Amino acid sequence: MSDLQVGALSIALMLAGIYFGMHIGVALIVTSFLSVWLIKSPEVAARFVAASANDAIRDYLFGVIPLFVLMGMLVSVSGVGRDTFDVFQWLMRRIRGGLGLATVGANAVFAAITGISIASASVFTKVAVPEMIRHGYTRRFAVGVVAGSSVLGMLIPPSLLMIIYGVLAEESVGRMFIAGIIPGIVLAAGFALLIVGMAYLRPSMIMANPADIARGDEHQETLRSAALKFIPILVLITLVLGGLYGGLFTPTEAGAVGAAGALVIALLRRRLDWKKLWNVLTETGYVSVSVLFLIISAMLYSRMLALTGMPAAVTGSITTMGLGPWGFLLAYIAIVIALGCIIDSVSIMLIMLPIVLPIARAFGMDIVWFGVVTVVAVEIGLLTPPFGVSVYTVKSALNDTRITVRDIFAGAFPFVLAMSAVLALLLAFPGLSTWLAYL
């Protein structure tokens, strides 16, 4: 059996393992070990796995993962999410569909201090959904706007997906963070335009009683109280993004400063006792270890594919087929969105990137821009059935049996269309992703 045949067999075995319920990390490690065994020998395969595991995450950079996860967890327990929503609810109180716009704005800001879409989805399901339903919004719209806008956490820095992409692509994580700022703002603006358009053109999609659409949402907030609530949020954003963009911190240092800031806020608000602190630390450990384990397995898988010559062969085949860079890119996006229907976003990146990154480089594509396009395409999968991680997160956080998973998917569908439009915009204008990154 040739090396290329072994590489093709390894991909087939890995996909089969995932289909039959094997953990993605285990599937990647097992197939990589068996492939190297077939190419070389059992002894070489064992040393190959050991060396890859040792080399994969010993770099100082990988401290960024537990630090940003810790910051996100501390922000969640400190009540910053509810305060963010209150501030935006007050700002948007006189606009049609104001609570929907408030949810998008609050999610965008919350994303800038967490980087985890699941955290955004769980927080705003509890905060925004009951408030919207109480003000006469339809249940389907209420859960749809929370699920849809929660994906901003994977694009607006600090983003966990951007960290993973930067590691796999051997690209600066700080540069990937900065590259996500403008696309994140564009996506949030696209969601806001969608909500305003629905409010004026199809009010029945938003309000249970469309006659109420012109009525502003009353709120007891004042300018002073809103400003006081927004100060901790602004401080954290300035610490993390200001420090990164100003060159004061590396991504790892920014994560440490952000986590320390979130801890201080939680303590000052008296939202953190010993039990909650223990829960935050253990949850941070669970998330960090799972992500780092996946990175180790992806590194091993990537090295195994390089050993078989599979990426070079695929690049040559695509060149021979005459697809060209745009044909390759459109086919890649279609595959990523299709995979999003059945597996989670991190797994998609771990499976696809070792294969497609050499091809993207061969076509001369900007790897930072390619990463932003990848993250947006992967985000669409967070909202598509039957998997839809954000949708199931919203469902699990809900305390309302009247709202079904089908309702959440239906409510999120307009946001999938908006994301597709923004993805097309990013493809047409790469400068939206690269301008800040290369300043």
Q: Among 207-221, 321-335, 348-362, where is mean pLDDT lowest?
A: 207-221
Residues 6+ apart with CB under 8 A from 266: 74, 77, 78, 272
Mean of pLDDT values over 205-210: 74
Prior bond of 430 cis (ω within 30°): no
* Listed residue (196, 228, 226, 230) closest to 213, CA to CA: 196
pLDDT score, position 61:
65
Res. 219: pLDDT tops 60: no
Res. 214: pLDDT tops 60: no
Q: CA distances (Å), 326 to each of 184, 269, 363, in order?
A: 23, 51, 10
Domain span at residue 228? 57-434
d(CA 259, CA 264): 9
User: Phi/psi at 137 (nearest 5 deg)?
Assistant: -75, 150
Verify that 338 and 213 share a domain, yes or no. yes
Res. 279: pLDDT tops 60: yes
Among 37, 56, 75, the domain boundary falls at: 56
Considering the domain boundaries, does residue 380 fall inside one? yes
Verify that 118 and 162 share a domain, yes or no. yes
| Eight-class DSSP state of 137 | B
Verify that 49 and 96 share a domain, yes or no. no
Considering the domain boundaries, does residue 187 fall inside one? yes
Mean of pLDDT values over 204-221: 63
The stretches of 135-222 forming alpha helices (DSSP H) are 139-150, 160-169, 173-179, 181-201
CA atoms within 13 A on the CB side of 65: 25
Verify that 35 and 126 share a domain, yes or no. no
Name the token pair of 230: 């927004």
pLDDT score, position 111:
73
Residues 6+ apart with CB under 8 A from 375: 154, 155, 159, 161, 162, 165, 180
Model pTM? 0.78
Verify that 301 and 367 share a domain, yes or no. yes
pLDDT score, position 358:
86
Res. 337: pLDDT tops 80: yes
pLDDT score, position 418:
93
Verify that 37 and 180 share a domain, yes or no. no
Tell me how many domains the chain contains: 2
Res. 213: pLDDT tops 60: no
355 Rama class: left (phi>0) / alpha (psi -120 to 50) / beta: alpha
Considering the domain boundaries, does residue 439 fall inside one? no
Q: At CA 299, angle to CA 297 and CA 304, rounded to 5?
A: 95
Verify that 76 and 45 share a domain, yes or no. no
Rounded to the nearest 10 degrees, the angle between the axes of helix 367-381 and helix 181-201 is: 40
Name the residue type at position 159: S
- State percent of the chain over pLDDT 90: 10
Res. 68: pLDDT tops 60: yes
Considering the domain boundaries, does residue 2 fall inside one? yes
d(CA 141, CA 155): 22
Verify that 122 and 31 share a domain, yes or no. no
What pLDDT, in 10s, does the model give residues 152-183? Answer: 878 887 787 888 898 888 888 888 888 988 99
Q: Among 91-105, 203-217, 231-245, 320-334, where is mean pLDDT lowest?
A: 203-217
Verify that 389 and 334 share a domain, yes or no. yes
Confidence of residue 372 (pLDDT cuts 50, 70, 90): very high
Among 14, 30, 56, the domain boundary falls at: 56
Residues 6+ apart with CB under 8 A from 258: 67, 68, 71, 113, 158, 236, 239, 240
Verify that 66 and 156 share a domain, yes or no. yes
Verify that 291 and 142 share a domain, yes or no. yes
Confidence of residue 193 (pLDDT cuts 50, 70, 90): very high
DSSP 295-310: HHHHHHHHHHHHHHTH
Considering the domain boundaries, does residue 14 fall inside one? yes
d(CA 353, CA 300): 13
pLDDT score, position 119:
66
Q: Among 151-155, 225-229, 280-284, 426-430, where is mean pLDDT lowest?
A: 225-229
- State percent of the chain over pLDDT 70: 89
Res. 379: pLDDT tops 70: yes
Mean of pLDDT values over 273-293: 83
Considering the domain boundaries, does residue 360 fall inside one? yes
Verify that 274 and 171 share a domain, yes or no. yes
